[in-house]
Structure 1
Amino acid sequence: MGRSKWGVLYIMSAALFIMFIDTTMMNVSISALVRDLDTTVSGVQSAITLYALVMAAFMITGAKLADIWGTKKVFFRGLVIYTVGTLMAAFAPNLLFLILGWSILEGIGASMMMPATVTYITKAYTGKDRAFAFGVWGGVGGAAAAFGPIIGGFFTTYITWRLGFFMEAIIAAGIFYGMKMLADYRPERKIRLDVAGAALVGIGLFLLTLSVLIMDPLTNPPVLLLMVLGLVILWAFWKYEKRLKAEGKDVLVDIDIFKSRVFTSANLVSIFFQMTLAGIMFTVPVFVQQYLHYNAIQTGFVVVPLSIMMFIFSMGGQRFAKYLTPKQIIQLGIVLTFIGLYLLLRVLKPGVTGSDFALGLAFYGTGYGLIFSQITNLAMMGANPEQQADASGIFNAQKQFGLSLGTAFIGALLVLGVIHSITRQIYESGVFEGSREQIKEAVIRWILKMQQGELTIPPQYHEVVKHIVNVSFIDTMKTSVIFMMVLLVISALLSFLLPKGEKAVQ
């Protein structure tokens, strides 16, 4: 009974696990990849960026393929492409093979598999079972992202980073074996792929995500130009789809889905919350590595409280449904995550240790788990049965974009914060003759040289520089946490648009 009832959930959770652990596991292995593949840090970072871009460009089209080929066929083909990609990455002799396998093939495979996981859970379960299944699904994905640094750090430190890709291939083999439990949801009628629509939305999302990922306050890349261009192309896509629908032709996305207040508000709540998750998963590791000088494994253990509580409450969040509506559970989750960030803010002072983050991260993980026990199910309930593939594609694209947006914004905030703090400290000390703007320009040149490894600090200034930099890390981390708290307030305000009752009504 247990195996047959929850078999679909096991398979979909395993698929989500390998897709979510992929990037976070490799983020701590950059130095090893540079050494083993005889490449550069920027080359590896380009591979990571391209993976996100490929997923963004193909996610909505990947979801639509379920209406054309059938959900099982899309999931199977996506898994084949993903497995080939991960094996290529595992055996990669150079950066080109890594990019082809990891960034391109895995990205395409993931864009086909991820929406299918949402569709399968939506169709396989109903009522409380569906809410529980989405809670587990979200918890597994979140835990995979959080535990990735520990697993990647262990493999890289003691064995090889290649083992991470081999692990994904082994899990994929288990998914292949379990696919006999999956129903074959075939399309009710023959649908043509809207190629022009797929090209427009793919290019638009690619440019929009690229504009976010290349955000760098020190080098001023053409972020605004790419962002505007991406938005213009997405607007053209919207108008094009609207015209096709009016003519009764097959569309890539049924834009009427956004008329559902439930679906639209759930996506808005989610995207702002995803930005805070990206911020936590970016700032905490950077801080403990740069300020406390933790290694990859130690850094991974710092976020363990978040991972554990996230997983527990994602699975157990449905128990709260006896006393609270889904809307109230989500709002409770936002309150708990806000408290978690406040507790992080309180401990950010000289002398802070990794263990001081535990309580704040535990509260954040609890709130995240509660939100994700409800939000995906609520969003999907806002879509009609014939809109399920469109809804899953949009929801997953929104999640990926939210993560990219949060990482980029908060990453830029960290850089600007460090520059501002160092400038302020030097200016107030009076040791440097010149205006505040001149000091700022000197600090920017200093940071750029430091990034390029061209800066040498005389020994007599080491302690002074260390003190200034450490103070700047504390100041900037506080600013980043406050920014994330503001994002949570926006998410909380948007949550009032969610339906009041236990059942989502369009």
Structure 2
Amino acid sequence: MTVKVASTRADSAIGPNSRSARLVLALACACQFMVVLDVSIVNVALPAVQRDLGFSDTGLVWVVNGYVLAFAGFMLLGGRAADLLGHRRVLVSGLALFSLASLVAGLATTAEVLVAARIAQGLGGALLAPATLAVINTCFSEGPQRARAFGTWSASGGVGGMVGAVAGGVLTTGLSWRWVFLINVPIGVVLIAIAMTSLTSQPRRREPLDLAGAITGTAGLAALIYGVMQTADHAWGSAQVLVPVLAGILLLPIFLVVEKRFAATPMMPLRLFGNRSVAVGNAMLFLFGGVAIAMWFFTSLFMQNVQGYSALDAGLGQTPAAVVFVVVARFAVGRLPKTGVRLPVSVGCACFVAGFGWLSQAGVDSAYMASVLGPTLLVAIGIGLVFPTLMASATAGVEPRDVGIAGGLANAAGQVGGSVALAVFATAAAARAASHSSGSSSPEALASGYELVFALAVGVALAIASVGVLLPGRQRNRPATTGDIPRRHDQATPPIATRRPRHHREM
């Protein structure tokens, strides 16, 4: 196969089996793995962190929340930066910031320094996540190549979330909680070297940054997520929750008005939503955040608080589901060009309904093999079918100049949806447990609360399936693409993002 390399003209994407393709995909997946891993890896280490640095109970949560808030709040800005400054430049910058912040976190001697480092890690992740999607969209042609790449990328993120609990326990127990952060430093250095040698530098676009859009969009997302986070300690009607939530709800429409009427070069071009696949895909990703939270977060709590597992054992208990998710995500999306996006979403939602319905019947005396393993494997199959499909759909048919912001938007939709779902589910579970006759903290009361969460997850799955009918159908008069979006005949093929193997000659 011959490969042409250019950064400003139409070219063919790299071959799916070439060394360059495998290296670029490995780079994107490793970056995604790392940023998702850092959401969960610190959970097991939190007690040791609190003892060493003297955190208060309320301050300790910001070791997790600071990362998540910065990660989700700056996602749109990170996506647009990838479009304007170039994917390689932003990806390397994100890796450098993430690695440096990890070093500072690992060496922190005060609580304030650790929280600040976690916020910086989140900023680095907000640059990395959309840049990895942009690299995949740029390097792999739409169709089977990109579908398989999305499957692998999606699986890497899922594995990162699952490995977090196990890795955090191993590192904290065997070495120190500091290695939960320090382990990122050598990995980041290696990934920077790979990015610098495998990705070509793209010229900066001569467009000014939409400062008003950047401020209103980032502040709106951050305020909304911050307010939702406050529901862990305050009632929904309290000022601590309502003020930031209302600020976010006010700022986000202002952001849209700025983008539509006042920004000469908008940070988030509203033309993206003229693409039905992008618009519907993002709406479904918002809903999907509830499924992911119910699966990975609340099943872990069920095993720990009801069945008496340690955090490490709960992570190991979810490992079979993680393996199934990886396998399904890796291979199922390769069928997307033939099946279209509606079929895997429908089958996946059926798995959600069956799995969460089964989980909602589990109780204090339920055995792991009969009441947890089976349903979590079903839900994992559904996630493997639905998540990569939606990520592919939410970025399909996007013009090369917008692939970064499309990736940022897709990531932000899932993050915001997960944050809202976590707040709603936790509130519902606490209310159900409080009404239990045995007391709100008894295993029976907690089991009752988690049963309600799993029943609500069934409703979310049905909502995803209902919205899924709006996804574009597969057109039978042409080969299907990843997101079933026909490309315009005048639309340029994305430029190559990898260096040309030396034995290839430019055609």
TM-score (norm 1): 0.87
Q: Give the structure with the larger helix fraction.
A: 1
**Cα gap change, 1:219/1:142 in structure 2, threshold over 3 Å: closer, same or farther?**
same
Contact 1:317 1:373 (C-alpha < 8 Å) held by counterparts = no
Aligned residue identity for 2:225: T
Q: Deviations over 1:225-275 (max 9, x none)?
A: 322221111111111111135xxx221110121122110111111111121
Q: Which moved more, 1:25-34 or 1:49-58?
A: 49-58
After TM superposition, give the deviation of residue 323 of structure 1 in Å: 5.6
After TM superposition, give the deviation of residue 219 of structure 1 in Å: 4.5
After TM superposition, give the deviation of residue 277 of structure 1 in Å: 0.7
- Give 2:194's match in structure 1, choosing from 168, 172, 178: 178
Match of 2:113 in 1: 97
Match of 1:505 in 2: 485
The CA distance in 2 between the partners of 1:31 and 1:48, in whole Å, is: 13
Say which SS state the counterpart of residue 298 (structure 1) adopts: helix
Question: Structure 2 matches for 1:72-87, cutoff 5 A?
Answer: 72-87=88-103
Contact 2:104 2:117 (C-alpha < 8 Å) held by counterparts = yes
2:247 equivalent to 1:229: yes
- Give 1:353's match in structure 2, choosing from 362, 367, 381: 367
After TM superposition, give the deviation of residue 215 of structure 1 in Å: 1.1
After TM superposition, give the deviation of residue 281 of structure 1 in Å: 1.9
After TM superposition, give the deviation of residue 505 of structure 1 in Å: 2.6
Computing the radius of gyration over CA atoms, which structure comes out larger, 1 or 2?
1
Aligned residue identity for 2:321: L
Contact 2:84 2:207 (C-alpha < 8 Å) held by counterparts = yes
**Cα gap change, 1:34/1:74 in structure 2, threshold over 3 Å: closer, same or farther?**
same
After TM superposition, give the deviation of residue 303 of structure 1 in Å: 0.9
Contact 1:24 1:145 (C-alpha < 8 Å) held by counterparts = yes
Match of 2:294 in 1: 279
The CA distance in 1 between the partners of 2:78 and 2:447, in whole Å, is: 42
2:266 equivalent to 1:251: yes
Match of 1:157 in 2: 173
Match of 1:458 in 2: none
Match of 2:9 in 1: none
After TM superposition, give the deviation of residue 29 of structure 1 in Å: 1.7
Match of 1:419 in 2: 434
Match of 1:451 in 2: none
After TM superposition, give the deviation of residue 78 of structure 1 in Å: 1.2
Runs of 4+ in structure 1 off by over 4 angstroms are 217-220
- Give 2:71's match in structure 1, choosing from 55, 69, 74: 55
Q: Which moved more, 1:469-478 or 1:261-270?
A: 469-478
Match of 2:410 in 1: 395
Say which SS state the counterpart of residue 352 (structure 1) adopts: coil
Match of 2:48 in 1: 32
2:383 equivalent to 1:365: no
Contact 2:39 2:68 (C-alpha < 8 Å) held by counterparts = no
Contact 2:77 2:214 (C-alpha < 8 Å) held by counterparts = yes
Aligned residue identity for 1:370: L
Match of 1:203 in 2: 219
Contact 1:414 1:480 (C-alpha < 8 Å) held by counterparts = yes
Q: Deviations over 1:173-207 (max 9, x none)?
A: 221121111122334x4011111211111111111
2:325 equivalent to 1:310: yes
Gaps of 5+ in 1: 427-442, 448-465
Contact 1:274 1:402 (C-alpha < 8 Å) held by counterparts = yes
**Cα gap change, 1:237/1:318 in structure 2, threshold over 3 Å: closer, same or farther?**
closer
Aligned residue identity for 1:229: A
The CA distance in 1 between the partners of 2:51 and 2:252, in whole Å, is: 40
The CA distance in 2 between the partners of 1:56 and 1:200, in whole Å, is: 14
Match of 2:256 in 1: 238
- Percent identity over the alignment is 23
Equivalent residues, number: 458
Gaps of 5+ in 2: 1-16, 475-479, 487-507
Aligned residue identity for 1:121: I
Match of 1:482 in 2: 455
Contact 2:151 2:334 (C-alpha < 8 Å) held by counterparts = no
Aligned residue identity for 2:466: L
Give the CA RMSD over aligned residues: 1.8
Aligned residue identity for 1:89: A
After TM superposition, give the deviation of residue 20 of structure 1 in Å: 0.4
The CA distance in 2 between the partners of 1:31 and 1:41, in whole Å, is: 10
Q: Per chain length, whose mean CA-contact separation is higher, i.e. which structure has more relative contact order (CA < 8 Å, sep 6+)? A: 2
TM-score (norm 2): 0.86
Contact 2:306 2:364 (C-alpha < 8 Å) held by counterparts = no
Aligned residue identity for 2:344: I
The CA distance in 1 between the partners of 2:253 and 2:285, in whole Å, is: 22
